[in-house]
Structure 1
């Protein structure tokens, strides 16, 4: 039988807004490891966000750039006790932190300053709390040559694990050759790229109205387009060792990927005969990793069938309350056997990101 983490003093836990705070007694108690059929595992959430107040002077002190009208947004400014309490309640041992890239359409020099502060503060935070946090760096991708330098500094000197990137930069897709030096450097360094969508701005008019469709539809669509372009334009062939994690279970792509295998057969005039892929489009999904931030065991079962359990890693989107019990979500998935649950909960991420398990 699968076992879960037990907490001493857990009765002291309480919700406060979106976050989770514990009583002083509960905070003093030792965390007990999550175990699957008696085997402990270090749970690693690869999809957790933060923001740094030190960037505000570079934003004309416009706090709304970093904190918008979304539940949990204020908690992106990390309060250590609050964040650790939330992680303990979620049964998360380690978060791999990232800053959502909001600077791609800003002036290049301003963006570079923001990225510099982000990476310095991220490295500082992760070094101070190395048992609980690892981090993805930020990149000034509107200047790919600068991004190459930033990535090398982040990995070689700052101890970060890779880079959090959007789904495109201004009007440029990640498959554009201008980004090849960045992906080449990431491949060389073994750096992981965490693709987190920023929505699809050209659809904003149609997505206005009830339901926050700009996020509910636009964000998964952004990831779907980014991955599809990288597949069909040959990016994953050119950089076959590139390590990519796609947020939100890869958007819509894994749910309808088989259509991609038929597109050029049905409409060859719409496909470039000079781009000769090494394998079927769906086969590239098995060299990409996907977070578990999809909302039911059935969704995990389908993702597992499409990409393999080995390509799924834990993700919550904390502090935004999309998935407040990410570990329990994996325990509820009958399609995963015990070894696969151990992998999804932390072992795969530990290996991918070179984190001590």
Structure 2
């Protein structure tokens, strides 16, 4: 049985005309920028042959950065989310054996975001939701999103928390070193901090059945679990947690291999968070599919664990067998 890849991007050229212009802070080489633009909007010419060549049965598609988080007007965000999700649903209808979808959510309007999640899962058959970090500076531990977490529990679908929203501040450590912005470093720190807000904010105590997916080996948070616990014991916290911080990893937080193609790092992630909580991803078209597959295949892990990572965990979490 072939692999399932969870963090695979697509773009809709028409969507950009519907949204405010955004500053391109990542200065990619032109050869890569052109390649990405061509492949993001494609589903048949490049994408499926790439999947076939590397043994990938299913890509779970999500709207590329910054997605709906680029919208500043709540009404426009709602309209654009519906537009993007309907577009994706049509693609999945054309290729039902190859693609699944994560819903783009208009978190600018929390009530509308809940309704759109319910529509996408119930009516369109999507397998979860995908959010690019904060929305206009508001994070998912904000009480206005409590209903969203409840809906995720009720629908039994995960939320994939991804980097890439428009920055709300300019870190001094980035000044003069634009190379540090984005996937090179800053996105991991930003998104990892967002995830820890959810832990320390008690989101998973109030919603114990909720599942959060983090890419890039969990934004490297699993490797800090022991330190989270040792420091938590010394802190005066606003609201005590029901469990040590480390316990939410594997129970509520699962991770993907996206963009980290070092076999030894994947092996260490399995040792840290457990084989049930690590899932395969490529980050197509931004990363190389062959390298993503090889990183898992070459890890010093038992073959049954590799199969869990490659597809079994995703099929269970997303109920792809149904």
Specify if TM > 0.5: yes
Query: How far does the alpha carbon of each residue in 1:195-231 deviate from its partner, in whole angstroms, 9 at most, with x for none?
Result: 1112654244432445621111111112211211111
Q: Which residue of 1 aligns with 2:52?
A: 88
Q: Which residue of 2 aligns with 1:352?
A: 317
Whichever of the two has the greater Rg, that structure is 1
Say whether 1:249 aligns with 2:253. Answer: no
Say whether 1:114 aligns with 2:80. Answer: yes
Alpha carbons of 1:110 and 1:337: their partners in 2 closer, same or farther (altered >3 Å)? same
Gaps of 5+ in 2: none
Q: Which residue of 1 aligns with 2:241?
A: 277
**Correspondence 1:189-268 to 2 at 5 A:** 189-198=155-164, 201-210=168-177, 212-215=179-182, 216-268=184-236
Q: Which residue of 1 aligns with 2:129?
A: 163
Alignment counterpart, residue 139 of structure 1, candidates 75, 82, 105: 105
Distance 2:22 2:243 in 1: 46
When the two structures are superposed, what TM-score results if normalisation uses the length of structure 2? Answer: 0.89
Distance 1:315 1:201 in 2: 28
Say whether 1:341 aligns with 2:306. Answer: yes
Gaps of 5+ in 1: 1-40
Alpha-carbon RMSD across the aligned residues, in angstroms, is: 2.2
Distance 1:257 1:282 in 2: 5
Distance 2:265 2:249 in 1: 16
CA shift, 1:149, in A, is: 0.4
Q: Which residue of 2 aligns with 1:19?
A: none
When the two structures are superposed, what TM-score results if normalisation uses the length of structure 1? Answer: 0.81
CA contact (8 A) 1:101 1:138 kept: no
CA shift, 1:349, in A, is: 0.3
